Amino acid sequence: MDEVHVELPDQYPYKSPSIGFVNRIFHPNIDELSGSVCLDVINQTWSPMFDMINIFEVFLPQLLRYPNPADPLNGEAAALLMREPKSYDNKVKEYVQKYASKEAADDAGAESEDDDDMSSVASFGDDDDQPAGQMDDV
């Protein structure tokens, strides 16, 4: 289960929302510590024609399934994906078990129940038990 933090600016939908993962994710295009997402459509090419449905049903799932190591926020993840894809997959699985499992989500939920300012989406993705891996795994 991935938990996503969303902040809508006053100018939304004319200005893109701020999107970040709350739980730690090992991915070339996601900053491991802040959860910031490097996604061109959110950061540079945003259009008012896009909406939150596009973000959660198209843009983020595509980013998670098809990482872009050529434009990394996490250099370690990008390098590992390019040099040792099997090791990358193993590390992704390790992070899923440690930070995105049902148990980890329950623990995090218990710690953040008082946070009313945060909008989030839990259970992101259509197959919560399988971490994103190489394209040949899809």
Q: Collapsing DSSP states into helix, strand and coil, what is residue 25?
A: coil
- Strand residue runs (E) in 2-117: 4-7, 18-21
Q: Is 38 a catalytic residue?
A: yes
Instruction: Give the distance from CA 125 to its chain's centroid.
Output: 10
Least Cα distance to 60 among 17, 91, 103 occurs for 17
Instruction: Tell me the two tokens of residue 27.
Output: 């991915």
Q: 20, 36 in Cβ contact below 8 A?
A: yes
Q: In this structure, are residues 77 and 32 in contact, taking their beta carbons and an 8 Å threshold?
A: yes
Helix axes 102-111, 85-99, angle to 10 degrees: 50
Which one is catalytic: 13, 20, 38, 108?
38
Q: So which residues are the catalytic ones?
A: 38
